């Protein structure tokens, strides 16, 4: 027998109307329609991610030893975004 389903939270949710007894052994075949391989990440995307990490580290260093004012940080971030636009 063959049934279709979707994985949610590491559990296979079978299509409506399918009832299998608890404890029955099954074999799962994964359709490769939506799988993304690491090789599909472009060099430009890797560079962009590395730049984001660098900005996060820089931001963390600016906060080191400082009492954090969340409202001020939000305004500071907003000004940065406005300056980039």
Domain parsing of the chain, residue ranges: 38-84
Overall size of the chain counted in residues: 85
* Residue 15 near residue 21, CB atoms below 8 Å: no
Residue 47 φ then ψ, to 5°: -60, -40
Q: Is the pTM of this model over 0.85?
A: no
Q: What separation in angstroms does the CA of 60 have from each of 23, 28, 30, 64, 74?
A: 50, 45, 41, 6, 14
18-70, pLDDT tens digit by residue?
888 888 898 988 876 655 565 677 889 889 999 999 999 998 888 888 887 88
């Amino acid at each position: 027998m063959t049934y279709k389903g979707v994985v949610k939270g590491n559990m296979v949710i079978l299509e409506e109307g399918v009832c299998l007894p608890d404890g029955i052994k099954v074999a799962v075949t994964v359709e490769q329609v939506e799988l993304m391989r690491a090789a599909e990440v472009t060099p430009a995307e890797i560079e962009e991610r590395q730049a984001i990490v660098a900005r996060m580290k820089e931001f963390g260093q600016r906060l080191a030893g400082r009492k954090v004012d969340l409202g001020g940080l939000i305004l500071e971030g907003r000004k940065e975004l406005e300056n980039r636009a």
